[in-house]
């Protein structure tokens, strides 16, 4: 008897390689994948606004990158001894107004330059519920959508679920702007498997269904859009609370690794997958803790890996192996 039905996503038509610039935007699950891509030496920029959950905030962020929008101090608000932006994660907040503005504008400018030449944009949507600012909210346009609540009073927000037709328009408008800005850009959508249970069980499922429906309609009608089923892999393939963290909301380490393995197979080309295995070996060697650091065996181990890194640098000059070369060289000399 089988107790598990494995789901293998179809490979993308155009798959990812180390030659490409990748931008990742969206929920915290985006950053789980982003960190793994970075560890495997991909050229990645992730979440220039910080973590974003809803599609309105994602679309607004992309619009700001395209226009290279500069914010001013008057667009921030003060709460809990810090200055914040309604369009940015709290990592951009600061007790000093000028510091927050500088961090935001520097990140937006970098995103503008990067997105202009990026080949792949990975967007992970978390929730179709949006929190619109009310007249009570500080320094906000009523009806504007908050990307982060910054622990503000609940009276500052009005919660509503995006209508399917409304979301269709947001996503198609965003794709049109992206195509005009960077005609060759490929977009991969995923739906975050993180469960937004603070909205409620039924409400979370309504939200995910709205996102999935709109993204699939977009992918069906636009040849530059693909879909990777991260949500389905966790909900329908793993399908067990053993694969969630203690909060029963976030996928745990095992689940994230499982989705990552499926992502590699479906979204990354074969030669790059082979190179990633070698990079994994280098990463493991760098993390190795020797029993006797002064032994000849360990010195041979370091020398062997330094030679492997030098060979990789020569064969793949577009990948930065300088930190690994510096590590093995320094350790050999000390």
**Residue 164 has what pLDDT?**
96
Instruction: Write down the H helix ranges in the chain.
Output: 28-39, 55-67, 97-117, 164-181, 201-221, 230-232, 253-267, 270-287, 296-315, 322-333
- Give the Cα separation of 183 and 40 in Å (integer): 27
pLDDT tens track, the chain, 334 positions: 666 778 889 999 889 999 999 999 999 888 889 999 999 999 999 999 999 999 999 999 999 999 999 999 999 999 999 999 999 999 999 999 999 999 999 999 999 999 999 999 999 999 999 999 999 998 888 999 999 999 999 999 999 999 999 999 999 999 999 999 999 999 999 999 998 888 899 999 999 999 999 999 999 999 999 999 999 999 999 988 888 888 888 889 999 999 999 999 999 999 999 999 999 999 999 998 888 888 999 999 999 999 999 999 999 999 999 999 999 999 888 7
Q: For residues 46, 49, 51 and 55, what is the CA-based torsion angle, rounded to 10 degrees? A: -100
Q: How many CB atoms lie within 10 A of CB 33?
A: 24
What CATH number has the domain spanning 21-268? Answer: 3.40.50.1110
Q: Are 186 and 149 a contacting pair, CB within 8 Å? A: no
122, containing H or E segment:
strand 120-125
**Residue 3 has what pLDDT?**
66
**Residue 1 has what pLDDT?**
60
**Residue 314 has what pLDDT?**
95
**Domain chopping of the chain, boundaries:** 21-268, 278-333
Q: Are 9 and 234 a contacting pair, CB within 8 Å? A: no
Q: How many CB atoms lie within 10 A of CB 184?
A: 9
**Residue 41 has what pLDDT?**
97
Q: Are 139 and 75 a contacting pair, CB within 8 Å? A: yes
Q: What is the pTM of this model?
A: 0.94
**Residue 29 has what pLDDT?**
82
């Amino acid at each position: 008897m089988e107790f598990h039905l494995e789901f293998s996503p179809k490979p993308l038509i155009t798959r990812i390689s180390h030659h490409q610039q990748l931008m990742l935007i969206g929920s915290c699950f985006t950053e789980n994948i982003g960190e793994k891509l970075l560890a495997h030496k991909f050229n990645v920029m992730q979440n220039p606004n910080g973590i974003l959950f809803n599609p309105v905030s994602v679309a607004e962020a992309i619009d700001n990158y395209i226009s290279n929008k500069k914010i001013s101090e008057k667009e921030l608000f003060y709460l809990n001894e810090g200055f914040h932006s309604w369009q940015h994660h709290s990592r951009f907040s600061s007790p000093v107004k000028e510091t927050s503005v500088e961090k935001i504008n520097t990140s937006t400018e970098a995103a503008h330059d990067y997105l202009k030449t990026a080949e792949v944009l990975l967007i992970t949507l978390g929730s179709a519920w949006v929190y619109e600012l009310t007249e009570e909210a500080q320094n906000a346009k009523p009806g504007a959508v908050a990307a982060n609540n910054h622990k503000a009073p609940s009276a500052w927000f009005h919660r509503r679920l995006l209508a399917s037709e409304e979301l269709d328009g947001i996503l198609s408008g965003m794709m049109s702007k992206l195509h005009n800005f960077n005609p060759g850009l490929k977009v991969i959508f995923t739906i975050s498997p993180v469960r937004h249970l603070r909205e409620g069980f039924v409400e979370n499922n309504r939200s995910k269904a709205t996102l999935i429906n709109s993204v699939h309609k977009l992918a069906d009608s636009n040849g530059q859009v693909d879909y990777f089923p991260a949500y389905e892999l966790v909900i329908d393939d793993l399908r067990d609370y053993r694969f969630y963290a203690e909060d029963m909301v976030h996928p745990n380490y095992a689940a994230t690794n499982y989705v990552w393995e499926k992502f590699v197979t479906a979204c990354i080309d074969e030669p790059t997958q082979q190179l990633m295995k070698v990079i994994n070996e280098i990463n493991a060697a760098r993390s190795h803790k020797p029993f006797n650091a002064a032994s000849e065996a360990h010195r041979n181990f370091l020398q062997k890996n330094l030679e492997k890194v030098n060979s990789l640098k020569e064969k793949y000059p577009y990948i930065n192996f300088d930190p690994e070369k510096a590590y093995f060289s320094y350790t050999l000399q000390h």
